[in-house]
C-alpha cells in the first residue's frame, strides 16, 4: 500500500479530471469514487467528494473542495517520455483547454501544471561533455514544447 497519497483540490470536477488523466497513461485507473452522504459546503448529498485514482502506478486523490484554492506552478507533475511521438500525444491532450507555458511546461484545463520531459533531454543535460550539455539546455530554454531532434542538433553543433 502506498503510504503517502497526494491530494489534488479541484473546484468540483475531480471526477472529470481523474477520468481524463487516467486515459493518458498506461497503468492508470479510477479506483474509488466517494459520494457525500449528506449536504456539505462543497455541494448537496450524493455529489462526488473524492476520487481515488492511480496514474502510471502512483495513487492520487482528487477532492472537490471548491474554487477557493486554485492550483499553482509551485506543484507540477513530470511525465518522462521515451520518444517525440509520446511528447506530442501528451502535449496535445494536456494543451486541449489548457495553456502552453515554456520549456516543456503546460497547464491543463483544470490549472494543474505538467512538465512533459523527453528522457533524451535528461541524458543530454547530463552529458559528460559540458559544452554539449550547455548547448542542449540553451536550445531547450528557447522551446515551448520540447523537440528532441532540435535539441540533439543543437547539442551536436560544433562552433
For the chain of 159 residues, list the mean pLDDT of each consecutive stretch of 10.
Answer: 96 97 98 93 88 98 93 97 99 98 98 99 98 98 99 92
CATH fold group of domain 71-159:
2,3-Dihydroxybiphenyl 1,2-Dioxygenase; domain 1 (3.10.180)
pLDDT of residue 125: 98
pLDDT of residue 159: 66
What is d(CA 140, CA 135) in angstroms, rounded to the nearest whole number?
9
Q: Do the two domains 1-69 and 71-159 of this chain adopt the same fold?
A: yes
Residue 85, helix vs strand vs coil: helix
pLDDT of residue 1: 86
CATH fold group of domain 1-69:
2,3-Dihydroxybiphenyl 1,2-Dioxygenase; domain 1 (3.10.180)
Domain coordinates in residue numbering, the chain: 1-69, 71-159
Give this prediction's pTM.
0.93
pLDDT of residue 42: 73
Amino acid at each position: 500500500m502506498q503510504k503517502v497519497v497526494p491530494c489534488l483540490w479541484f473546484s468540483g470536477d475531480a471526477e472529470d479530471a481523474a477520468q481524463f488523466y487516467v486515459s493518458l497513461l498506461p497503468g492508470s485507473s479510477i479506483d474509488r469514487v466517494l459520494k457525500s452522504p449528506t449536504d456539505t459546503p462543497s455541494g448537496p448529498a450524493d455529489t462526488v467528494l473524492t476520487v481515488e485514482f492511480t496514474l502510471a502506478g502512483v495513487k492520487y486523490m482528487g477532492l472537490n473542495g471548491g474554487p477557493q484554492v486554485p492550483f499553482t506552478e509551485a506543484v507540477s507533475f513530470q511525465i518522462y517520455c521515451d520518444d517525440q511521438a509520446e511528447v506530442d500525444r501528451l502535449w496535445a491532450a494536456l494543451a486541449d483547454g489548457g495553456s502552453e507555458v515554456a520549456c516543456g511546461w503546460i497547464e491543463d484545463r483544470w490549472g494543474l501544471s505538467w512538465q512533459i520531459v523527453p528522457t533524451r533531454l535528461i541524458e543530454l543535460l547530463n552529458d559528460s561533455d559540458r559544452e554539449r550539455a550547455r548547448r542542449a539546455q540553451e536550445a531547450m530554454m528557447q522551446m515551448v514544447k520540447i523537440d528532441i531532434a532540435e535539441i540533439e542538433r543543437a547539442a551536436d553543433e560544433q562552433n
